[in-house]
Amino acid sequence: MAEDEELVTHSAEVEEILEHAPASGNLMDSKTSILDDMLMEKLEKAFHKQTSMVMVHDVAKIASEYEPIDLAYAVSRLPPSSRHVVYDNLPDLHAKVIFMINTDSATRTAILRTIDDKEIKRLIDHMPLDEAVWILDDISDRRLKKVLELLDAKKAYRIRELLRHDRNSAARMMTNEFFAFHLDMSIGQVGKSIRDNPGIDLTRRIFVLNDVGQLIGYVPARNIIVNPNELPIRQVMRPILHQVDPDTSRDEVIDLVHRYKIPALPVVNDDGVMLGVVTYEVVVEAMEDLGDDTIATIAGTAEAYSENEPIMRRVFSRAPWLVVTFCSGLVTATALTHFAGRLWFLGVVPFFVPLINGMSGNVGLQCSTMLVRAMSTGEISAGIKHRAVLKELMIGLTIGVGFGILAWSIVFILNVLNIHALGSEPLAIAATLGAGVFSACLTATSLGVFFPFFFARLGIDPAVAAGPLVTAFNDLCSTLMFLLIAFLVHGFFVY
């Protein structure tokens, strides 16, 4: 009884959390993250009950008191074997549909393994077509075939048609629930049809078709409200300036919607017949997914973070990228050992290699990351990439000159004051480090500029250039350049 009293109603508790949560700007202290932590704590307590009967009772109570969307986020932090228990105890089919749409792929996969084909069919029957396709992506081909056989023939055909397209295409992002009317229909008739179909939410743009069903324009929702009912929609329609075909890439769809702020982007076939609509909300979700992928690739890993993911699986997700860094380090070490007995090497190189590598790594990563971000947002196009390259090189040159002079000055003063007692000519040491820092910054900038455009030309996501590849090659090249400069400077002062 005491435990039941701890479970207050969802609305009151959530309102209290959202009202009193600190507005610190820290992502880990946001209102939704605090709600997730609180809900996660309750679920963990429920799953640690001594008997399964008590556990299921508490989980069912939690599932009935909280929004399915909140549960969808919180359950992804449970062990995969426990997630289906929350799903099984959701109060009704509507809650289960919302839960499955909003949770992550790993949770969907874990749940789909525990439910039968008829349950999947019930979920698909009550989902928008685009969401249903994403759900079916998480089951095997053999099981997909069985589920499609259970579905209505018309819906199964549409799903098969969508599954033919690439997962990151416009066809997979679009919904087939939209309003489209013949150009001769009146505003009154359109309004009545919209009222008769309350299940379709897409009313910000009402599309206009000609006699053969081709898309010719759209009517903003406001025009349906402010104009007389007897007015034909063709008199208030606007031209379609942007549309895509089913195979248009996700990146191009995002670029169009983001640039022109299109609330509903139509998808048409080769004959101009409208197939579906990509909504702004779907594009925002795609941008989030794309951002997650880009961040992971820049970090040098393909893993999707989950605290319940097996350690070895996460290790193997990171290891392939680190092989490049590992090999680069071995090559660098081999080069250093080859010159280990030389006088010019012993006097300077071992003490300043970490500084050279640190400067080159950060400069190169800053350069490549800025270029990748500008390329992904469309700020850099093919026509202006030469100006972007020149500007980055000038920035790298300026940084190299500035920090080179700073390094020369500080090291020279420290050696004159005998704080750096390396036993060599202070001017030679300072000149070596100053020139080394300058060359490292310039080399790093060149590589940071080269890699993104090189991979983009090859058709590979340029974000890969901002990870271990740039860092590894920067370390290797900057170290070799520093060795060469140390040798030349030493020869100049000796001879």
Final residue before a domain boundary, out of 299, 320, 340: 299
Residues 60 and 77 in one domain: yes
Mean of the per-residue pLDDT values of the chain: 81
Question: Do residues 213 and 361 both lie within one domain?
Answer: no
Q: 267 pLDDT exceeds 90?
A: yes
> Do 191 and 165 belong together in one domain?
no
- Statement to judge: residues 332 and 383 lie in one domain: yes
- pLDDT for 138 equals 82
Give the tokens for residue 23.
Answer: 């507005």
Q: Is 256 inside a domain boundary?
A: yes
Q: Which tens digits make up the pLDDT trace of 323-368? A: 777 787 788 777 777 777 676 676 677 778 888 888 888 888 788 8
> Which of 299, 332, 358 is the last residue before a domain boundary?
299
Indicate the burial class of 479 (C-beta count within 10 angstroms; 0-12, 13-18, 19 or more). Answer: buried
Confidence of residue 402 (pLDDT cuts 50, 70, 90): very high
Helix (H) or strand (E) holding 299: helix 280-299
Structural domain that includes position 410: 311-494
Q: Is 452 exposed, middle or buried (0-12, 13-18, 19+ CB in 10 A)?
A: buried
Same domain membership, residue 275 and residue 190:
yes
**Residue 336: partners with Cβ closer than 8 Å, 6 or more residues away:** 345, 349, 350, 353, 479, 483
Q: Do residues 21 and 127 share a domain?
A: yes
- Structure confidence at residue 7 (pLDDT): 40
Task: Return the CATH number at 279.
Answer: 3.10.580.10
Q: For residues 336 and 405, state if they share a domain.
A: yes
- Over residues 251-261, the mean pLDDT reads 89
Residue 490 vs residues 334, 343, 355, 483: alpha-carbon distances, Å: 21, 9, 19, 11
Q: Is residue 304 part of a domain?
A: no
Contact 481, 443 (CB under 8 A): yes
Place 461 in a pLDDT band, splitting at 50, 70 and 90. Answer: low
pLDDT number for residue 457: 78
Q: Specify the pTM.
A: 0.61
> Is residue 31 in some structural domain?
yes
491 has a pLDDT exceeding 90: no
Interior/surface letters 328-340, b for 16+ CB within 10 angstroms, e for the rest: beeebeeebeeee
| pLDDT for 376 | 65
Name the pLDDT band for 292 (thresholds 50, 70, 90).
low
- pLDDT tens per residue across span 183-237: 999 999 999 999 998 878 777 899 999 999 999 999 998 898 899 999 999 999 9
How many structural domains is the chain composed of? 3
Between residues 9 and 37, the one the model is more confident about? 37
Domain boundary among 138, 172, 206: 172
For 87-142, how does the pLDDT look when each residue is reduced to its tens digit (9 = 90+)?
Answer: 999 999 999 999 999 888 889 989 999 999 999 999 999 988 878 888 898 888 89
* Alpha-carbon span 115 to 110, nearest angstrom: 9
Pair 278, 355 in one domain: no
Give 485's pLDDT tier (boundaries 50, 70, 90). Answer: confident
CA 59 to chain centre: 32
pLDDT: is 358 or 374 the higher one?
A: 358
Q: What pLDDT is recorded for position 338?
A: 76
Shared domain check, 187 and 57? no
Query: Is residue 306 a part of any domain in this protein?
Result: no
**Residues 369 and 231 reside in one and the same domain:** no
Task: Examine residue 446 and state whether it is found in any structural domain, yes or no.
Answer: yes
Q: Would you state the pLDDT for residue 4?
A: 45
396, pLDDT greater than 60: yes
Among 21, 81, 97, smallest CA distance to 47 is for: 81
Which CATH number belongs to the domain containing residue 315 in this structure? 1.10.357.20
- Helix (H) or strand (E) run with residue 274 in it: strand 274-279
Instruction: Say yes or no: 292 and 359 in one domain.
Output: no
* 46 & 91 share domain: yes
